A and B are shown apart, each in its own frame.
Chain A
Amino acid sequence: MTEWRYWLAEQRGTLLAIGIFVAMFLIYATNHPAGFSANMVQTASNKATLLAFVAMAQAIVVITAGIDLSVGMILTLTNCLASWIVVGTATETALGVVGVLGTGILCGMINGAIVIFGRLQPIVTTIATGAMYYGVALMLRPNPGGAVNETLADALTGRLFGVLPTSLVALAATAVLIWVPYSCSVIGRAAFATGSSEVAAYMSGAPIRAAKFMAYTLAGLLSAIGGLFLTFFSYTGEAAYASGNAYTLFSIAAVVLGGVSLMGGRGSAIGAIFGALAFRTIGDLLFVFDFDPLWQPLFQGIVLMLAVSIGAFGLLRVRNRLEWFG
């Protein structure tokens, strides 16, 4: 019984995110002009999975009390790269996919190495490396264009058995194959410990460096998967600065909505996924209720602001004012 309550307390953020998403999606689906259909779910999930991959990436880094402001630029870079190399025969395409994912891992490793061995602040480091990744993306695609293996793209953006969106299945598979083993492993535990208290983790002999390095590397990999899917949806590569930045920003919003503590040490990538789905659904609510699309950025901004202000309610429970200063 008590164990069950501990589990509930630990997963509260994730469960809350699922709740918000379900509520928002119900409002969205019941008011959608086309009604609730497999088609509508497919479109909605295709849009939301991109953000969900990036949000997972962000969550894994945020859990170690770091932050990765280059996730959106890694997404842009891998999108541009994929529009060059994920083409041709089955073998070529497979090699291309491996190349794209490898590039993402490499970007993540660069971030990790600079943060750990260079001892620079994650925020400054990833802003600067983000500029570099954007530079490479711009080199690859000075103008939007390129192509992608359309058979693969259609397979991964279509529907499985006519009902289930494949992108959602891919998202779930990624979560099961990457997040679950990671969070159960020694390194994953060390990542949570590092996020809670780096000093305590060090004193307990947890592999802090390996945990942080792994977190940044996985973030690069997950962003690359996001970039790959972006290419599958758009069939082109584009080095768009604004959209890269927007992904970074929204990934933080999704992580916050998903109940991951920005102080580190608490939360899960699953929560971040539902945070991302909820954030996208909230953004699309405007279209359902027939508002001018011009108001969408403002609406998303206000949702983001309210989401980050939720944490302030914790202040009401503070007994000693010194706890304000963490």
Chain B
Amino acid sequence: MSDATATRPASRGAGMLRRIDPAVAASFGCIVLLLLVGSLYSRSFLSPDYLLQQLKVASFLGVIATGMMLVILLGQIDLSVPWVVTSGAMMACAAAAHGTTGAILAIPCGILCGAAIGLLNGIGVAYLRIPSMIITLATNAVAQGLMVAYTGGFAPQDSASKAMRYLATGNAVPGLPNAVLAWAIIGGAAIWLLSRTTFGRAIYAIGNRERAAYLSGIDTRRITMLAFALSGALSAFGGVLLAGYASKAAQSMGDAYLLPSIAAVVLGGTHILGGRGSYLGTIAGVILITLLQSILSVMQISEAGRQLIYGAVIILMLLIYGRQKA
């Protein structure tokens, strides 16, 4: 993991080339391929408006996939995404219904709810040593139960606050949607966190071999717990953005984000058993998945066909370059 090549200025160019992960290159290649296929189908596919719209849709998945990536790098998985997304959205909307104070606190409230569920996951995985797949499924069920009890089983009536709607649909910088900006900031923070801080280094170390990381003096349990809390917060933030985009929360809004977020991270070359992967790959994976979904819907393929092709394409891409070492 040491960047020996980066310190030698003469071979920096060659070093950059060598450092590019084949999986990342492959997923960027697939993006270009998808764009070409799309442009054969419809001319407007390469127009800046359409591409910007795709980037905006991708930013919701991007925010959620960032949290998923932190957890996958640890060698764990977070299956509580669907109802954490929904809880974040619903709680933010619920807070927004309480006058001006509520409207101000809506976004932090949503994110904090997600972080709390994530913290619960983290405590379960790190301190109680429960397999992450199981504890996150359980917290997903608990979050679902809480939300069903809260809404009474009906679609909630509260709508998103102005700030949430502005965050998801507005343009602070002309021509650049705020959602994309939010993803860019979170993505930048993730890159900094993963490559420039001890926290990020510790995540990679734990993903490679937790025992070794522990013996080198890393408090592996605290790092794991924090990563899960971050993942919960980011999922909930994705939910807040989605609620702002649709201007209200809905019961099953998070269901469509579990498989895509895992697929985006894994397609981007992050090893599913942890310890290896770059955020650049996750960006590629997110854009790839969004484009794939968009092309399938532009071609007016039914929901059934979309699910089928979508599952098949993910398996196929993973078979091509995501295989475990034998």
Q: Which residues of A contact B (CB under 8 A)?
A: 67, 114, 118-121, 123-125, 127-132, 134-139, 142, 239, 241-242, 245, 249, 252-253, 256, 262-263, 294-302, 304-305, 307-309, 311-312, 315, 321-322, 324-326
Contact = CB atoms under 8 A, between A and B. Distances in A.
A262 B305 contact: no
B131 A129 contact: no
B207 to A, nearest CB: 12
A131 B145 contact: no
B276 to A, nearest CB: 14
Contacts of B310: 131, 135
Nearest to B212: A325
A121 B124 CA distance: 23
Contact of B262 (A127, A135, A249): A127
A121 B259 contact: no
A285 to B, nearest CB: 15
B149 interface: yes
Nearest to B258: A127
Contacts of B146: 298
Nearest to A306: B138
Contacts of B312: 128, 132
Nearest to A139: B304
Given A135-B304, A304-B141, A309-B124, A256 B324 contact: no
B214 interface: yes
B323 interface: yes
Nearest to B211: A325
B142 A294 contact: no
A121 B138 contact: no
Given A127-B262, A298-B149, A308 B138 contact: yes
Interface string B230-268: 000000000000000000000010010011001100100
A294 B152 contact: yes
A246 B135 CA distance: 15
B135, B141, B266, B323 pick with most chain A CB within 10 angstroms? B141
A135 B301 CA distance: 12
A254 to B, nearest CB: 12
A138 B301 CA distance: 13
11 contacts: A119-B326, A120-B318, A121-B324, A128-B259, A129-B315, A135-B305, A136-B308, A138-B307, A262-B134, A297-B148, A298-B148
Given A124-B272, A131-B307, A138-B304, A114 B315 contact: yes
Interface in B203-217: 210-211, 214-215
B263 A304 contact: no
A309 B128 contact: yes
B78 to A, nearest CB: 12
Contacts of A121: 272-273, 324
Contacts of A249: 137, 140-141
Contacts of B149: 294-295, 297-298
Interface of B: 77, 124, 128-131, 133-135, 137-146, 148-149, 152-153, 210-211, 214-215, 220, 252, 255, 258-259, 262-263, 266, 272-273, 302-312, 314-315, 318-319, 322-324, 326
Given A142-B304, A325-B211, A124 B266 contact: yes
B141 A325 contact: no
Contacts of B211: 322, 325
Contacts of B309: 135
Nearest to A133: B311
B41 to A, nearest CB: 21
Given A118-B323, A120-B318, A142-B304, A128 B263 contact: yes
Contacts of B302: 138-139, 142
B216 to A, nearest CB: 13
A322 B214 contact: yes
Contacts of A322: 211, 214-215
B151 to A, nearest CB: 9
B166 to A, nearest CB: 32
Contacts of A252: 134, 137
Contacts of B252: 241-242
A268 to B, nearest CB: 19
Q: Which 9 A-B pairs have the closest CB atoms?
A: A298-B145, A135-B307, A135-B308, A301-B141, A132-B311, A138-B304, A131-B311, A301-B142, A312-B128
Given A135-B306, A294-B152, A295-B149, A125 B315 contact: yes
B273 A301 contact: no
B222 to A, nearest CB: 13
A169 B141 CA distance: 31
Contacts of A245: 255
Nearest to B313: A128
A315 B214 contact: no
A308 B134 contact: yes
Contacts of A325: 210-211, 214, 220
B315 A128 contact: yes
Contacts of B128: 309, 311-312, 315
A139 B307 CA distance: 10
B304 to A, nearest CB: 4
